[in-house]
Amino acid sequence: MSIDIDTARKVAKLSRIRVEEGDLPALAEKLSSILGFMEQLKDVDVEGVEPMTSVTPMRLKRRVDEVTDGSQQAAVLKNAPDAREGFFAVPKVVE
């Protein structure tokens, strides 16, 4: 299975990465090569095998449901490209 230009355009869109129209053929070719490599998995008999969910069988630990951290607005906003009045600022989202 290979990735055509339309599929490459769609995957770029889903990934929220802008790819110029002229760059799509080369991208499709490289993604196809990666996908072709994955195709080997079709040769494996996986009948009746459960997909792995955790590499080390362990029960996730639980803790008391209580606030352990917080009130760090300044630290949280410190690295923001655009922070105003205690908030992250972004371009207009709703028309």
Partner 1 sequence: MSANMTGANGWTIAAARDALRKGDVTAVDLTMACLTAIDAGDGLNAFVHKTPELALEQARAADARLAAGDAPAMCGIPIGVKDLFAVKGVPTQAGSNILRGFKPEYESTVTTKLWGAGAVCLGKLNMDEFAMGSSTESSCYGPAVNPWKVDARKLTPGGSSGGSAAAVAADLCLAATGTDTGGSIRQPAAFCGITGIKPTYGRVSRWGVVAYASSLDQAGPMTRSVRDAAIMLGAMAGHDAKDSTSADLAVPDFEAALSGDIRGKKIGIPREYRLDGMPGEIAALWDRGMDMMRDAGAEIVDISLPHAKYALPTYYVIAPAEASSNLARYDGVRYGHRARLAQGDGITEMYEKTRAEGFGPETQRRIMAGTYVLSAGFYDAYYNRARKVRALIKRDFEQAFAAGIDAILAPATPSSAFGLGEQGGADPVEMYLNDVFTVTLNLAGLPGVAVPVGLDAKGLPLGLQLIGRPWEEADLLNHAYVLERAAGFVAKPAKWW
The residue from 2, 4, 6, 11 that contacts partner 1 (CB under 8 A) is 11
Q: What is the CA radius of gyration of the chain?
A: 23
Q: Which residues pair with 88 in a beta bridge?
A: 83
One character per residue 14-43, x = contact with partner 1 (rule: CB under 8 A)? xxxxxx-------x--xx-xxxxxxxxxxx
Please, how many CA atoms are within 13 Å of residue 1, restricted to the half-sphere of its CB? 7
Rounded CA gap, 19 and 8, in Å? Answer: 9
Q: Is 90 in the site for partner 1 (CB under 8 A)?
A: yes
Query: What are the structure tokens assigned to 81, written together?
Result: 């490209």
- Residues in contact with partner 1 by CB under 8 A are 3, 7-8, 11-12, 14-19, 27, 30-31, 33-44, 46, 49-56, 58, 60-61, 63, 72, 75-76, 78-82, 88, 90-93
